[in-house]
Amino acid sequence: MSETYDVVVIGGGPGGYVAAIRAAQLGMKTACVEMRGKLGGTCLNVGCIPSKALLQSSELYHEAQHSFASHGIVVSPKLDLKAMLDRKAKIVEGLTGGIEFLFKKNKIDYVKGRGHIDAPGQVSVTEGDDKGKVLTTKNIVIATGSESTPLPGLDVDEKTIVTSTGALEFDKVPKHLAVIGGGVIGLELGSVWKRLGAQVTVIEFLDRIVPNMDGEVSKTFQRTLKKQGLEFKLKTKVTGAKKSKSGVELTMEPAAGGDVETLSVDKVLVCIGRRPYTEGLGLDDIGVERDKRGVIQVDAHYKTNIDGIYAIGDCIPGPMLAHKAEDEGVVIAEILAGQKPHINYDAIPGVVYTWPEVADVGMSEEKLKEQGRAYKVGKFPFMANSRAKANDATDGFVKILADAETDRVLGAHIIGPAAGEMIHEIVTIIEFGGSSEDVARTCHAHPTFSEAVKEAALDVEKRAIHV
Ligand code: FAD
Ligand code: NAI
């Protein structure tokens, strides 16, 4: 039986489910096709949320072992990994169930199975509970997300050689975990297992970790993680892996070529980036344009080259972040409703949820130099922040970059406690086209970590008070 919708969204992740909810709020008859059996996509099921749950638990365990005593709290912590994993699973279940509730509340049809675009205006479901269902619709929004990029020569089995999905489920703490890729996933999940007792070796192809971040931050970040016991092999490429009963033997060589070396570990996490997931959608048959990496090409209104077919989230260009996907979900629904919304891609924050956290928004110094723009730098270390002192959280700094002439804030980079929360002050400033003077003149409560943001803004004109 065929039904007619205003919009059918394929994919129930942060991009897709938000698009569906906003479309329904705007009065459109909406369906969302999801094949995972759960709503929430990568983010809620095997990404943002489970990783943050484990980061929080492992941080508490580590603190109980190493920090409580300095506060005069004497404990003998013991790890119950099963309980930790069960807690994570419960959080995920609660949140994915919450999205299902929101779908019901907004009268969105949740169609379980794999969506296939037969033609513009027609989506069929080829697997799952609703197999055989054909949906006719005025508009199709593709929000099918991304998947882990494979590394040739390493066969992922999600037990010994794993992607992030397997690394969220180890039932024993690995003795030695090799992390291939010193990016966001590698450093977050590497931190989790290091805190729980594993030896962790991060193997990165380039000469620094988190290579897209401001260089100064990435250097401090690596130094801080090294102090915590993570080991790094930079400028190194993994060329093969041999599995044995006891684990895996990795073969590596310098990225520029040279002598081969081996590393024996019991688990390997492959996290060298993610690529769009558009399998089985039928895009080639209907001629939806993608680039060499499979990224769906869209115009400024998220329209593909085919009328009536739109795409958002990880499967289109831009940072692969849940909040970017969500914002695009809102915007595409509003565009389909005839509104004229807009996203400022210069004001999308990025956060790495390690200890300390690392957060940024806008331009890095490297990018400003590349563009030949004149800029001023203001910096303030958490070592000189009283709340950071009181909390024993003095690693890191705030750095603000402002236009040399107009003082307009162009970027901010924070490594330190609660960096992921503090960055939003600068996101808002950038969104409003504000200056470092605006931040410097804003009253910040004392004692807070955020005072370091104000002091960094004062330092743009070299008048910070506490250094
Ligand atoms: P997805 O969340 O990938 O959702 C796409 C959905 O589409 C999936 O559920 C999939 O099953 C479904 N689908 C695909 N094809 C079909 C089809 N043909 N029919 C039906 N359904 C289909 N981002 C952050 O901002 N913060 C974080 O802290 C963070 N942590 C992360 C941690 C990890 C370990 C990983 C892997 C990612 C993390 N991310 C984080 C990235 C974030 O998960 C993604 O950017 C976000 O999920 C993208 O949303 P999306 O809706 O575009 O795609
Ligand atoms: P990433 O792009 O962050 O990092 C990949 C790293 O692997 C880079 O440093 C790259 O230089 C390196 N690399 C590439 N090829 C390599 C090779 N052959 N050998 C060794 N190193 C190699 O990708 P990652 O960590 O896989 O995460 C994917 C995406 O998921 C992120 O880009 C991010 O968008 C999202 N994510 C976001 C999080 C957050 O916001 N906190 C957390 C986790 C993931």
Residue range 246-258, pLDDT digits in tens: 899 999 999 999 9
CA distance 5 to 22: 15
154 within domain boundaries: no
Of the three residues 233, 253, 272, the one that is the final residue of a domain is 272
Unique residue bearing structure tokens 């790890």: 79
401 within domain boundaries: yes
Among protein residues, the one with the nearest Cα to ligand 2's atom 28 is 273
Q: Does 263 share its domain with 282?
A: no
Average pLDDT of 337-341? 98
Is residue 426 very low, low, confident or very high in pLDDT (cuts 50, 70, 90)? Answer: very high
Radius of gyration from C-alpha coordinates of the chain: 24
Q: Does 118 share its domain with 177?
A: no
Q: Does 125 share its domain with 113?
A: yes
Q: Is 181 in the pocket of ligand 2 (CB under 6 A)?
A: yes
Annotated binding residue at 188? yes
Q: What are phi and psi of 377, to 5 degrees?
A: -120, 135
- For the record, the structure tokens of 142 come out as 């593709």
Task: Report the chain's terminal Cα–Cα distance, integer Å.
Answer: 71
Q: Is 319 in the pocket of ligand 2 (CB under 6 A)?
A: yes
466 within domain boundaries: no
What pLDDT was estimated at residue 437? Answer: 98
Share of the chain above pLDDT 70, in %: 99
Is residue 89 very low, low, confident or very high in pLDDT (cuts 50, 70, 90)? Answer: very high
172 within domain boundaries: yes
pLDDT tens-place string over residues 59-78:
999 999 999 999 999 999 99
465 within domain boundaries: no
pLDDT tens-place string over residues 104-117:
999 999 999 999 99
Q: Does 178 share its domain with 305?
A: no
Of the three residues 323, 343, 363, the one that is the final residue of a domain is 343
Those residues whose C-beta lies under 8 Å from the C-beta of residue 82, and which sit 6 or more positions away, are 171
Is residue 358 a contact partner of residue 414, using CB atoms and an 8 Å limit? Answer: yes
CATH number of the domain enclosing 390: 3.30.390.30
Domain boundaries, position 61 = 2-148+275-343
DSSP state of 321: -
DSSP reduced 3-state for 34 = strand
Q: Does 354 share its domain with 233?
A: no
CATH number of the domain enclosing 19: 3.50.50.60
What pLDDT was estimated at residue 285? Answer: 96
What pLDDT was estimated at residue 165? Answer: 98
Q: Does 320 share its domain with 415?
A: no
Is residue 34 very low, low, confident or very high in pLDDT (cuts 50, 70, 90)? Answer: very high
DSSP reduced 3-state for 262 = strand
Q: Does 266 share its domain with 363?
A: no
Give all strands (DSSP E) within 28-128, no chain letters: 30-34, 109-112, 115-119, 122-125
What pLDDT was estimated at residue 372? Answer: 98
Is residue 421 very low, low, confident or very high in pLDDT (cuts 50, 70, 90)? Answer: very high
CA distance 211 to 220: 13
Q: Does 19 share its domain with 142?
A: yes
What pLDDT was estimated at residue 246? Answer: 86
155 within domain boundaries: no
Q: How many domains does the chain have?
A: 3
Q: What are phi and psi of 147, to 5 degrees?
A: -140, 165
153 within domain boundaries: no
Q: Does 362 share its domain with 387?
A: yes
Annotated binding residue at 181? yes
Q: Is 314 in the pocket of ligand 1 (CB under 6 A)?
A: yes
CA distance 359 to 421: 9
Annotated binding residue at 42? no
Q: Does 351 share its domain with 450?
A: yes
Q: Is the pLDDT of residue 3 over 80?
A: no
Annotated binding residue at 411? no
30 within domain boundaries: yes
Ligand 2 pocket test: pick from 154, 164, 192, 205 the residue with the most ligand atoms within 8 Å of its Cβ. 205
Q: Does 186 share its domain with 260?
A: yes
* Ligand at shortest distance from the CA of 164: 1
Q: Is 352 in the pocket of ligand 1 (CB under 6 A)?
A: no
Atom of ligand 1 nearest to the CA of 319: 45
What pLDDT was estimated at residue 74? Answer: 97
Of the three residues 343, 358, 390, the one that is the final residue of a domain is 343
Q: Each residue of 381-420: b (16+ CB within 10 Å) or e?
A: bbebbebbeeeebbbbbbbbbbbeeebbbbbbbbbbbbbb
Ligand 1 pocket test: pick from 9, 32, 43, 127 the residue with the most ligand atoms within 8 Å of its Cβ. 43
CA distance 428 to 409: 10
Q: Is the pLDDT of residue 245 over 90?
A: no
Catalytic residue status for 466 = no
Q: Does 80 share its domain with 51?
A: yes
Question: Over the chain, what is the mean pLDDT?
Answer: 97
Q: Is the pLDDT of residue 297 over 90?
A: yes
pLDDT tens-place string over residues 157-214:
999 999 999 999 999 999 999 999 999 999 999 999 999 999 999 999 999 999 999 9
CA distance 52 to 40: 15
